[in-house]
């Protein structure tokens, strides 16, 4: 199915949009079971380039990542669930 995001790391800055505070995203490639951790900008490039990444809840519902641009011009990723922007990424545990 693609890249499943499993955890995030956030910086401690004061951000108008908390999604901009995500610095790293942990993931597993469901096609080959490889896993890793990417910076926010690496994940933005992956999704912008046509890659599919998602967050999955306990009921196996998927919310896919989309690239957004803040009012300050910073690119970040956020999930869309049922056609609406959601906070699935922010609900993930911190990566170790």
pLDDT tens for each residue of 32-54: 999 999 999 999 999 999 999 99
Tell me which H or E stretch contains 64: strand 62-69
Q: Which residue ranges of the chain lie beneath pLDDT 50?
A: none
CA dihedral over 78, 22, 20, 73, signed as positive or negative: negative
β-pairing verdict for 3-10 and 53-56? parallel
Q: What is the pTM of this model?
A: 0.89
């Amino acid at each position: 199915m693609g890249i499943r995001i499993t955890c995030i790391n956030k910086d401690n800055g004061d951000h108008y949009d908390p999604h901009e505070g995500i610095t790293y995203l942990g993931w597993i490639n469901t096609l080959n079971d490889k896993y890793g951790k990417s910076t926010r900008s690496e994940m933005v490039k992956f999704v912008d380039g046509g890659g599919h990444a998602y967050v999955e809840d306990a009921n196996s519902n998927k919310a896919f990542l989309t690239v957004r641009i803040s009012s300050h011009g910073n690119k970040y990723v956020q999930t869309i669930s049922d056609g609406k922007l959601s906070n699935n990424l922010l609900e993930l545990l911190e990566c170790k």
